[in-house]
Structures are given as structure tokens and as C-alpha cells.
Homo-oligomer: A and B are copies of this chain.
């Protein structure tokens, strides 16, 4: 497994799960990096039992749920990545979030009847269904923990979007992923971005031209290198300094 990538090299790009693929996936399912990092010990064990249902494979670019769909289940993202999008008034798609392995999809939906956002896979993924009926008392307790962590992240995003320059937004974005990977003991300085620059720019509230220019600036300052979708951050501290300048 390529530890510098978001997904296992063994994950099939499409098709039904074969017994071999299923085995591969189950091997991964129980790795720490595929489970919520906010829970630990007994809580994590409880949570695992609840999402034991075998994950199903989802092809890249697929819509997992669409805004307006009835909420029948939440989802646990085990392998791959997603983007959360909202259609703006002008019909344009706006990215409001990314999700990586270990995320629970639908925290903002657990008290509602319909989905408020559309979730689209950025690459081939493995995803567990958590039926709403399965939300017993124990699981709801874990859910409260996950949601409060999610809320805190959103307040950080508020700060970033409201007060940072474009360069700082990009630094924040890169560090957010890097720190996510660090918590899961994955390579934090070299990894692949699963999303396009268009998506990143939308997420950060900038034009993709500005993002491209910002990447160029960071490159010339030696803070960040990008080749295709693979990136390299030589000095995390320098990037952190830029973020909080």
C-alpha cells in the first residue's frame, strides 16, 4: 500500500467487489487511518461494531447522495475521498468541503429529513452504509463527539476564509491535509491531492487562476512543490509561519 497516497493501490477502479477485493478492503477497514480519529478506545470499538457492514466500492466521479435526497443512512468513508458541493444561486457548483478516510458523511443530516449537500467521489472509494435505524444510544454518543469535532473544524475554516490572504488560505488547506495525515501516521510532507485545482479554488473562495499563481509563488519561495497531483512540503514549520503571519 502506497502510504503517500490517499487510497490503497489495490483498490479496484470499478466493478463489483470480488472475494479477493473484499479481503483486501477488510484488511484495510480495520486500520486506524480508516476510522474516525476523534474517537478512541472503547468509543472507537463501539463505532467499529456499528459500521461492520461490508463497505461497497464506488467509482470515481459518482454521486453518493444528492442535495434533496431523503436521508435513509449516513456513510462511513473508509478508502478514497469525497467533495461536498452546493449549487449556488447562479447554478454553479461550489465546493464546501472535502472528506478523507475515517470521515462520517452526513453529520449535518443526522437531525434532518433530506440531504443539504451533494457528495461526489473524487477517486474510487470504499464506503459503509450506516442506516439511520442503527443510530442507537451508544452510537449517538459517538456521533455527538464526531459532530463537535466537525463543528470546531468549521470554525477554523471561518477564520481562514474571513481573514486570510490567498497565500494563507492555501497554506491552511495544505496543512489541514498534512495534519490529518500526521494524526493517522501517514506521510505528512509528500502526498497526492485527490481533487482538481478547480475544486481547491472553489473550496477556498478564490479563482483557479489565483490558485495557480499562489502555487507558483509558494514554489518560488521553496515552501511547496507540485508535480501533477503529487505535492511535497519541504518545511512544515515554514508553511505554518506563513499561515499565521
Most buried by B among A146, A147, A157: A147
* Alpha-carbon distance A203/B159, docked complex (angstroms): 9
- Determine, out of A6-14, A102-110, A177-185, the stretch whose residues face the partner at the interface: A102-110
Smallest CB gap from A164: residue in B: B205
Main secondary structure of the interface of A (DSSP, over half): helix
Given contacts A161-B162, A162-B204, A205-B162, is CB(A96)–CB(B144) below 8 Å? no
* B146, B147, B154: the one within 8 Å of A158 (CB): B154
Given contacts A89-B244, A140-B141, A144-B140, is CB(A107)–CB(B159) below 8 Å? no
Most buried by B among A107, A151, A162: A162
Q: Which of A82-140 contact B (CB under 8 A)?
A: 84, 86, 88-89, 94, 96-97, 107-112, 116-117, 137, 140
Smallest CB gap from A243: residue in B: B89
**CB proximity of A171 to chain B, nearest CB, Å:** 12
Given contacts A154-B151, A162-B205, A163-B205, is CB(A145)–CB(B94) below 8 Å? no
* B97, B148, B155, B204: the one within 8 Å of A155 (CB): B97
Given contacts A94-B162, A112-B148, A144-B147, is CB(A155)–CB(B117) below 8 Å? yes
**CB proximity of A108 to chain B, nearest CB, Å:** 4
Given contacts A140-B144, A144-B140, is CB(A157)–CB(B158) below 8 Å? yes
**CB proximity of A89 to chain B, nearest CB, Å:** 3
* Alpha-carbon distance A154/B97, docked complex (angstroms): 11
Given contacts A116-B155, A117-B155, is CB(A109)–CB(B148) below 8 Å? yes
**CB proximity of A237 to chain B, nearest CB, Å:** 14
* Alpha-carbon distance A144/B84, docked complex (angstroms): 20
Tell whether A60 is near chain B: CB-to-CB under 8 Å.
Answer: no
**CB proximity of A17 to chain B, nearest CB, Å:** 31
* B84, B94, B112: the one within 8 Å of A163 (CB): B94
Chain B residues with Cβ below 8 Å from A23 are none
* Alpha-carbon distance A57/B147, docked complex (angstroms): 30
Complex contact B147–A148 (CB within 8 A): yes
Complex contact A155–B152 (CB within 8 A): no
**CB proximity of A116 to chain B, nearest CB, Å:** 5
